[in-house]
Structures are given as structure tokens and as C-alpha cells.
Amino acid sequence: MNERETLKINQEGHLEIGGADCVELAKSFGTPLYVFDEAQIRRMMRSYRDTLQREYKGNGLVLYASKAFSCKAMYAIANQEGIGADVVSGGELYTAMQVNFPAERIYFHGNNKLPSEIELALDYRVGCIVVDSLTEAERIEGEAEKRGIVQRVMLRINPGVEAHTHAFVQTATPDSKFGFSVFDGSAEEMVSALLKMRHLRLVGYHSHIGSQIFEKASFVLAVEKVLDFAASMRLKYGFAPSELNMGGGFGIWYTDEDRRISADGYGEYLSALIQAVRTQCREKELPLPRLLIEPGRSIVGEAGVTLYTVGAVKEIKGLRKYVAIDGGMFDNPRYCLYGSKYTALLANRAAEKPTELVSLAGKCCESGDLIGVNMELPEAHIGDIVAVLSTGAYNYSMASNYNRNLIPPAVLVREGKAEYIIRPQRYEDLVRFDALPDSLK
Ligand SMILES: Cc1ncc(COP(=O)(O)O)c(C=O)c1O
């Protein structure tokens, strides 16, 4: 069913993920449930890592963009695969450090890092901080001085290439809260400022042009623009980057409107980047930098499915059919946020062809609480197990306790055997941080 063998339909007609029967998983662990296929996560990490090794003499590092799905198990897997991690908050950093993730392989991002987060990053001695404001740079300088260290930093720049699914645009005046524009002089001012700071060592540039991108040409153009900037900074300041971080953003399959890319196919995206870096550095007479990429969605997105139980079916005659499940925007807010599209099937009748278009409704008190509209499904009945595919990225990590619903647990499947990587919440957990002032007792 899925060319990477993450998903299969077994002899009972049930959906399997990583060799585990989804109906059995729903019985054992309950629903809603996030399920992850460990083999697929590792395949993706290895594909990027090995391409870098083969085609760039290993002169670089793959950083798992952990915002896609952050939990101890993910950092442990990334560490075992010998890759690094990108973190964007003290919380992600703390989680990584709980499994002794090598701090030198951590890159810390964020457009407004809190003073306490900067201190934590320096205390842990993270490998690199990606600077996104002058105030932040000055703060890192001060904290590094206090500790008597020199902190490696990169500068996040905005090369004026914006890309989204199936399209990219070049903009001269990019409007973004991230990075410094190469067009209005602000990136240059930052280079000049960073080079003067005695406790910072500027190692290079970072750029991330968007997410769910399928066009290799957009990454190639971004490399060209970043290295144009690097070349002009070398002329002016004599600084050539020893590292180049081109971010993440490789697209994944959600529905048949998207391309299906094999693990090797993702390696080809990295090959295109490597090729562009080699060509541009040759043309601009820049030394070849250490190359970093930060894939998140493509590492973990298709490795995950979410299982739900159908609790109600409601037809508004001539208009729409709602299939209501026991999850919703509290475990997957992406339809509400971006109108994202998903593919769903009935895990207990997985071989059945879809016969109708339905809206998959969550259980929150919000009309807009949907996982999707016009989704193809066979006729669903109460008790059916719905599997929503490609939910590994930006689902759990964006989940909330809205309506005081419990965030579902997650299991990791390895050779057909599932174990918790996120344990179930209980109602006690919901009130754990509530406080009752004396006047209300
Ligand atoms: C700086 C940065 N790096 C990497 C990523 C990961 O992108 P993706 O999950 O699309 O690969 C993001 C996502 O927003 C990002 O902002």
C-alpha cells in the first residue's frame, strides 16, 4: 500500500503499521492513539545521513527538526543514528538533554529566545545558536563572557526565496518574523556586529525557506542567494562561512495531490542541494562549507498514523455527512490552522474502497473542529476504527488540552511490537497545575 512498507493491509483486511495490526493496537492501547513506525523514522534519518556521507564526504550534519515531534524517544533515535537535532525552545532542549543527547550536535533556533533559554543553552554548551536578533546576540555575548567561553553562532538570513507546496516565489522584500533580509542591509549589519563580539564565533548562515516543498529548484535558488550574500560579505568583511545550514521543508505525502517520495528520493533532494553548494562555491571561489539540513516533517510525518473510534454519524440530508471521532483539533489542529488535507481509511475494513465523501469531525465544542472535509471513506459505522495517515509531524507537537480533553498517548512500533513513547494523560494531570486561591476554597 505504501511503497516504504510502513503501511500494509493484512489478511484480516486490517491496516498494519510497521507490522502491527491497527485494530489490535486500538484494542490494547485505546483510542485516540498516535502510532509511529520506528523503522520508517530510521530509514529517513539514514537516507539523509548516508547521502551526506557519500556525496559530501560526510562534511556536514543532518539535524532532526524536533519541533515536528519532540519527545525523549525521538531524541534517543536521532542520537543512535548519529544525527543532530534542532530545537526551538528551552522545553525541546531540556527534553533532548534528558536522554543525554550530545549537546554539541544541538542547534538552537527561535526568533525570540528568552533570556532563561539562552542561559540554559549556554549551560548545556549547545553546539550552535542560530541568532535571530541583535538583542539576542548581545545577550549570548554577555552570558558567554560570564562563563568564559566562546559560543558558536550562525546568522539566520532571509534570502528572499519563499516556497510552499508545488510553488516558490522570489521576493525582494520578504515579510517574515524570522531572520534578517539580505536585501535591506539588515543581514549585513548583523554580520558586522557579530564579527565584533569577542565571545561569539560566527560560523556561517542559516536559511529555511518554507515547508512542504516539492520543488528542488527552490532549494537550489536559496543556496544561490545565500552564497551570493556570503560572497559579498567575504569581499566586505573577509568572512567566509565555514558552515551553511539550509533548513528543512521537504514535502511529504498527505493525499494523492502530493508526490510520494521514497527514502532514497529524499536523498536526491539533498544531492541537489549538495550539487548547488559545490557549483556556487566554485563559481564564487568560496571554500566548501560544512553543510547542514534540518528535516522534520519528512523524517517523522509519514511514519505516523492516528487511530480514532467512530462515535457518531450524522447526515445533513443533501448537504454533508459528519463522521465524529473521539479525537479532533486537540490532537491534530492542522486542518483548523491551515486547512491541511489528510487521507483516512477504516483500519478494521482497510481493503474496502471508499464510497462516500464525509467530514471527519472532532469532539470539541467548535464547529470548525474537523480533521478534514470531503474525505473519502467507506460507509462508517459506530465503533469503526478510523486511521488518519501521515500524522507523525506537527500533530502531537501541536496538541492541546482544549476543552480539557486528554492529549492522546503515542506508541512506537518496532517489528510489530508497540510500546508507549508518550504515556496516557489522566484527568488528575489536567488539574495538576490548577491553583485555588484561599478566597475560593
Ligand atoms: C528553522 C526551521 N528548520 C527546520 C524546520 C523543519 O521543517 P520541515 O518540518 O518542513 O522539514 C522548520 C519548520 O518550520 C524551521 O522553521
pLDDT in tens, 376-430: 999 999 999 999 999 999 999 999 999 999 999 999 999 999 999 999 999 999 9
Distance CA 353, CA 161 (A): 41
Cβ < 6 A, ligand 1 pocket: 65, 68, 86, 109, 208, 211, 247-250, 294-298, 393
- Judge whether 309 and 263 are in contact, CB under 8 Å: no
Confidence (pLDDT) at 290: 98
pLDDT in tens, 85-104: 999 999 999 999 999 999 99
Name beta bridge partners: 344.
388
- Judge whether 397 and 67 are in contact, CB under 8 Å: yes
Nearest to residue 67, comparing CAs of 83, 46, 48, 88?
Answer: 88
Coil vs helix vs strand at 191:
helix
- Dist. CA 246 → ligand 1 center (Å): 10
Q: Is the pTM of this model over 0.85?
A: yes
Distance CA 418, CA 20 (A): 7
Substitution site in 158, 215, 294 for ligand 1 pocket (most atoms within 8 Å of beta carbon): 294
What is the set of active-site residues? 365
- Judge whether 292 and 344 are in contact, CB under 8 Å: no
Coil vs helix vs strand at 84:
strand
Distance CA 74, CA 296 (A): 11
Confidence (pLDDT) at 271: 96
Torsion of CA 51, 391, 162, 230, to 10 degrees: -40
Nearest residue CA, atom 10 of ligand 1?
Answer: 249
Confidence (pLDDT) at 2: 47
Confidence (pLDDT) at 177: 84
- Dist. CA 92 → ligand 1 center (Å): 14
Nearest to residue 151, comparing CAs of 134, 127, 179, 135?
Answer: 127
User: Which atom of ligand 1 is the closest one to the Cα of 297?
Assistant: 9
Substitution site in 86, 168, 211, 213 for ligand 1 pocket (most atoms within 8 Å of beta carbon): 211
- Judge whether 209 and 159 are in contact, CB under 8 Å: yes
Coil vs helix vs strand at 394:
coil
Query: Could you give the domains of the chain?
Result: 7-30+303-431 (2.40.37.10), 38-300 (3.20.20.10)
- Judge whether 243 and 154 are in contact, CB under 8 Å: yes
The rounded mean pLDDT for the chain is: 95
Distance CA 413, CA 5 (A): 13
Confidence (pLDDT) at 72: 98
DSSP 213: B
- Dist. CA 89 → ligand 1 center (Å): 14
Length reported for the chain: 441
- Dist. CA 177 → ligand 1 center (Å): 14
Q: Going residue by residue through the chain, which has 441 residues, state the pLDDT in tens, using 9 for 90 and above.
A: 444 579 999 999 999 999 999 999 999 999 999 999 999 999 999 999 999 999 999 999 999 999 999 999 999 999 999 999 999 999 999 999 999 999 999 999 999 999 999 999 999 999 999 999 999 999 999 999 999 999 999 999 999 887 766 566 655 456 778 888 999 899 999 999 999 999 999 999 999 998 899 999 999 999 999 999 999 999 999 999 999 999 999 999 999 999 999 999 999 999 999 999 999 999 999 999 999 999 999 999 999 999 999 999 999 998 999 999 999 999 999 999 989 999 999 999 999 999 999 999 999 999 999 999 999 999 999 999 999 999 999 999 999 999 999 999 999 999 999 999 999 999 999 999 999 999 999
Confidence (pLDDT) at 176: 79
| Grid cell for residue 344 | 483516512
Name beta bridge partners: 106.
85
User: Which atom of ligand 1 is the closest one to the Cα of 295?
Assistant: 11
